[in-house]
Amino acid sequence: MAIRTIREEDDEILRKKSREVEVIDEKIKTLVDDMVETMHKFDGLGLAAVQVGVLKRIVVIDLYDDKGVIVLINPVITKEKGKQIVEEGCLSFPNKFAKVERPEQVTVEALNINGEKIKLTGKGLLAQAIAHEVDHLNGEVFIDKIMPGTLEIVTPESQEK
């Protein structure tokens, strides 16, 4: 396992659409392990493969609860329900936070790390994380969805106040 470099806001790869994973082989499993390790190292709740420079439709999410890490390969959101206004940040946009409107509940279909089809319904924070990470796979970033006037840039100096 290895810590991968997180691509940041000016990197054009973040605006590209990721490709489906055709085969879940050892290379893909290693990528997933590296993504989980990288996400944990930077205290993220989710990470898409594109954020580490790989245009594959892979997402990892960890809400740091008893469910552990969720791996979604080729995820497709099949249902959205309700709306929630949430405070959001992103590992690719360090120190930037803003309010974004997300679905209150989403249902996603994907493959797990063993290539088995799974269906998952998430509410609240999990719905937010799934929607945020699937956006990444489509070349969309949260900074484009922020509610006007809510962007905050947090610097070490601003935290001291």
Task: Give which of 87, 84, 131, 69 is closest to 106, Cα–Cα.
Answer: 131
Considering its fold, how many domains does the chain have in total?
A: 1
The yes-or-no answer on residue 116 being catalytic is no
Q: Compute the average pLDDT of residues 129-153.
A: 96
Contact criterion met (CB below 8 Å) for 77 and 121: no
pLDDT on residue 1: 78
Range of the domain at 79: 12-160
User: Residue 157: pLDDT above 80?
Assistant: no
Q: Is residue 34 part of a domain?
A: yes
Q: Is residue 85 part of a domain?
A: yes
Q: Is residue 7 part of a domain?
A: no
Q: Is residue 2 part of a domain?
A: no
Q: Is residue 93 part of a domain?
A: yes
133, 140, 152, 160: the catalytic one is 133
Give me the CATH number covering residue 76: 3.90.45.10
Q: Is residue 6 part of a domain?
A: no
Per-residue model confidence as pLDDT tens digits over 61-77: 999 999 899 999 999 99
Phi/psi of residue 28, nearest 5 degrees: -65, -45
Q: Is residue 88 part of a domain?
A: yes
User: Residue 108: pLDDT above 50?
Assistant: yes
Model confidence at 161, pLDDT cuts 50, 70, 90, reads very low
